[in-house]
Structure 1
Amino acid sequence: MSVFTKVSHGELKRFLARYPVGRLLNFQGIGEGVENTNYFVDTTDGRWVLTLFERLNYDDLPFFLGLMEHLASQGFPGAMPARTLEGDTLTSLNDRPAALVRRLPGGGVLFPTLEQCRAVGQALGDLHVIGQSYAGRCANSRGPDWRRETAEAVLPKAHATAQALIASELEAQAHLDLAALPQGVIHADLFRDNALFVDDRLTGIIDFYYACNDALLYDLAITVNDWCFDPDGRPDAARWQALVSAYCSRRQLTRAERDAWQLTLRAAAFRFYLSRLFDWLFPREGDVVHIKDPEAYRLILDHHRQQVPPAP
């Protein structure tokens, strides 16, 4: 979440008039994240998050907003999109597609406890089960084709060590067929800042704007890579065991998924290494822009390349 598009008090007041959410009290830009413009908005009817989509277009967004409604209606701890007086969840503001969702209590965590890892593992398993009944479909915009194209873009500007790593990993990933593994709706970005907690109680899973249809195992790998590694690129075995065991209590993995675990962990680390490296080399303009260091995911990728992970 960043602020690329500025919104004035008057513009926001006119925007909110489309919704039955009461009178605007205050609002504040959110500086974390890298993709969309986000504001916290308080009205007389509650607390909200306003998102202006900087890259996604109007045709893409019904999938994400519909998924959020579907999950929330099934009891999943996700934010429910607000509907306008005309019944729409998707509108526009300052020439950007826009949506307003109910703000959930709690905050992200920097140093997750074992109980928090268990809660996230269970929630991810529940998402994969509930998602099977969602009719919408969306291809992964950051799948294998994106990884190859992004690698080609960063290679000319990357240093020699990074170039060698990228070339080697592209060759290895050519042997992974995620499409052959069990498929479904995945979050694809379940990082620590996208899970909200009050103490050890999970209060919400947010930011579904990378959600798509892809291999369920890939989603688990993305989550493990963020929740179960220390800043120096070393895995925390206790957190790893807690999260994966909790996930498997909701959904059992197949033999094919267990066999593909190491290469899938590498694919998940490679995806975020590439995206962060691209943002580092080609920064975007914005009022508040948060760029994440690719080094953290280089360390995680190096670990997976050198070590066989514990069987899930």
Structure 2
Amino acid sequence: MAVFTPVSLDDVSQWITQFPLGQALELKGISSGIENSNFFLTTERGEYVLTLFENLSFEQLPFYLKLMHHLAAHGVLVPAPIANDQGELIVALHGKPASIVTKLAGRSQMAPQPVHCAAVGAMLAKMHLAGRDYPLQQPNLRGLEWWHATTPEVLPYIPADKAQLLKAEVHYQETFAACETYKQLQRGPVHADLFRNNVMFEGERLTGFFDFYFAGCDTWLFDVAVTVNDWCIDLDTGVLDAARVRAMLDAYHAVRPFTEAEQHAWQTMLRAGALRFWLSRLYDYYRPREAEILTPHDPGHFERILRERIATPAPELF
């Protein structure tokens, strides 16, 4: 993620003695993303990821880290949080909550084929099922309530046609969220940000999902929609690739069958997934925070996807 809080190897060398990881050997900032300060950390015991949380509090963080631990225990491929000698997963560094997790093998697949999409779909369904008995509760912090609060923050910066689309889509999603079909959707912990750069592969073998710090409890279908909107599209136009969509949905359905209510909600949920990221990118673009390394994303990408989802029906769930 963008580095908002600079950390040096000297800073980490004393701090890390409380973890069973040996001496810190190398620390390198990660420039992608815009939420937390992330670093690749090499120690005498191996390679890890160090995260300083810029927005999430000590009180909020147990939901995410304990969720990762829970999923790993159920066979879902995710990074394992490392506890210190007091059994704590979250420890202050430079006054910020910080954690260390294992680094996944492989690399992100930025040009996915149907085989990669199928692997992601199957693991996502397994993740949803594994989360059914996770005891902690937290809403999706980038859900409808956040859309309402954030829309007025960005409206002054965008032209009239975009403002009209944004307000109309928030109203559309609010109306849908009040209907009976929405209330019937299966729900539980979701990743909510499962883009290509948050999944690792070695060849065609999926090695893990990571970056769970947008996770929360929401409809599973929203999680599927967010994932399809990134993995199964032409990046220039936002148009869905039918072969990749079919591969992902069929693989998911084979593990956790979709319901009739989900079938009815599918087109609307794809729009919700596009809206969520269009709005967050508008906010990050027009209301940025200072960072040592910052790579803001183009808001127009998800505007195109939203317009495309409104104009063109997607392949059905099953």
Shorter-normalised TM range: over 0.9
The 1-side partners of 2:69 and 2:145 are apart by 29
2:9 aligned residue: 9
The 1-side partners of 2:167 and 2:16 are apart by 49
Whether the 8 Å contact between 2:240 and 2:314 is mirrored in structure 1 is no
The 1-side partners of 2:229 and 2:183 are apart by 21
1:250 aligned residue: 255
Matches within 5 A, 1:1-312: 1-177=1-177, 178-231=182-235, 232-312=237-317
Whether the 8 Å contact between 1:179 and 1:215 is mirrored in structure 2 is no
Match of 2:243, SS state, is: helix
Match of 1:97, SS state, is: strand
The aligned amino acid for 2:206 is L
The 2-side partners of 1:237 and 1:229 are apart by 9
The 1-side partners of 2:114 and 2:313 are apart by 22
The 1-side partners of 2:14 and 2:75 are apart by 32
TM-score between the two structures when normalised by the length of structure 2:
0.96
- C-alpha displacement at 1:24, in angstroms? 1.1
The 2-side partners of 1:117 and 1:255 are apart by 23
- C-alpha displacement at 1:175, in angstroms? 2.2
The 2-side partners of 1:63 and 1:166 are apart by 31
The 2-side partners of 1:284 and 1:179 are apart by 36
State the Cα deviation string for residues 216-273 of structure 1 (Å, max 9, x = none): 1000000000101111211111101001111111111111111011111101100000
The 2-side partners of 1:56 and 1:179 are apart by 28
The aligned amino acid for 1:188 is A
Whether the 8 Å contact between 1:29 and 1:39 is mirrored in structure 2 is yes
The aligned amino acid for 2:124 is L
Q: Which runs of 4+ in 1 moved over 3 A?
A: none
TM-score between the two structures when normalised by the length of structure 1:
0.98
State the Cα deviation string for residues 25-71 of structure 1 (Å, max 9, x = none): 11100001110000000011010000000000000000111011111
Match of 2:34, SS state, is: coil
Gaps of 5+ in 2: none
The aligned amino acid for 2:143 is G
The aligned amino acid for 2:210 is I
The 2-side partners of 1:68 and 1:171 are apart by 34
State the Cα deviation string for residues 140-189 of structure 1 (Å, max 9, x = none): 11111111111111011111221111122122112222444111111100
The 1-side partners of 2:3 and 2:183 are apart by 35
The 1-side partners of 2:224 and 2:292 are apart by 33
Identity of aligned residues (%): 41
- C-alpha displacement at 1:276, in angstroms? 0.4
The 1-side partners of 2:282 and 2:108 are apart by 24
The aligned amino acid for 1:80 is A
* Superposition CA RMSD, Å: 0.9
Whether the 8 Å contact between 1:176 and 1:264 is mirrored in structure 2 is no
State the Cα deviation string for residues 173-213 of structure 1 (Å, max 9, x = none): 12222444111111100000000011111011000111111
The 1-side partners of 2:136 and 2:32 are apart by 28
